[in-house]
Amino acid sequence: YANLAVRGRLAGQVRAEQLAPALALRPDLATVVAGFNDLLRPGFDADATAGHLEEMFAALTGQGARVATLTFPDVGRITPLARPLVPRVQALNARVREVSGRYGVVVVETGHHPVVTDPRLWSPDRLHAGPLGHARIAAAVAEALGLPGADDAWTRPLPPPDVPLPAGLRAELRWAGSFLGPWLGRR
């Protein structure tokens, strides 16, 4: 098992920096999840992003690896301030499905399940999965790959929280001040 992921990388950077080391490992199974950082950038190009994914899918499947990827959830349901990004997510998801189909890549469809937008699955920055989110992602990939013992339990809602989740404008402003503002400032 090797995790070559580096947070914050664009799909082109993932291809340029991580594909060769991944191929050198001669994996029998590889997961490729990239493109979300691209859609956050002003110059997002869904076709260019999908092109980088396609190069990775082609190289890995061409070497005999089984490849899995996933679609991204409705970010507007995770962070209301991100609603303007929803068309970009939809465009990227459509391209992911399209290029995956050409190479037999297994696509984990996360966006169809309301549980993936439960705040408890996300880290406080709302961009990265938290521990529970990673567990659900792993279970989703296991089910999509048809692994023994895997099922659709990952799609089921979490039990009601013991403490009400922060909601409304105050929670959005707190998130924007803690994460969005500093992220924008770095760019």
Mean pLDDT to the nearest integer, 152-171: 77
Q: How far is CA 69 from CA 86, 161, 162, 172, in A?
A: 19, 30, 33, 30
10 C-beta neighbours (distance < 10 Å), count: 20
pLDDT band at 181 (very low <50, low <70, confident <90, very high): low
- Is the per-residue pLDDT at 98 higher than 90? yes
Share of the chain above pLDDT 90, in %: 64
| pLDDT reported for residue 179 | 63
Q: How far apart are CA 107 and CA 140, in angstroms?
A: 10
| Helix (H/G/I), strand (E/B), else coil: 59 | helix
Q: What tens digit of pLDDT does each residue of 11-66 get?
A: 999 999 999 999 999 999 999 999 999 998 989 999 999 999 999 999 999 999 99
Q: What is the pLDDT of residue 23?
A: 98
pLDDT at 109: 94
CA neighbor of 144 nearest in space, from 102, 107, 116? 107
Q: Output the pLDDT for position 140.
A: 96
pTM above threshold 0.75: yes
Average of pLDDT values for 109-131?
A: 86
| 103/110: higher pLDDT | 103
CA nearest 73: which of 125, 111, 35, 34?
A: 111
Task: Name the range with the highest mean pLDDT among 1-10, 20-29, 37-46, 160-169.
Answer: 20-29
End-to-end CA distance of the chain: 33
The pLDDT of residue 53 is 98
Domains in the chain (CATH in brackets) are: 11-160 (3.40.50.1110)
Q: How far is CA 117 from CA 12, 41, 63, 114, 159, in A?
A: 27, 22, 35, 6, 14
Helix (H) / strand (E) element for 106: namely strand 106-108
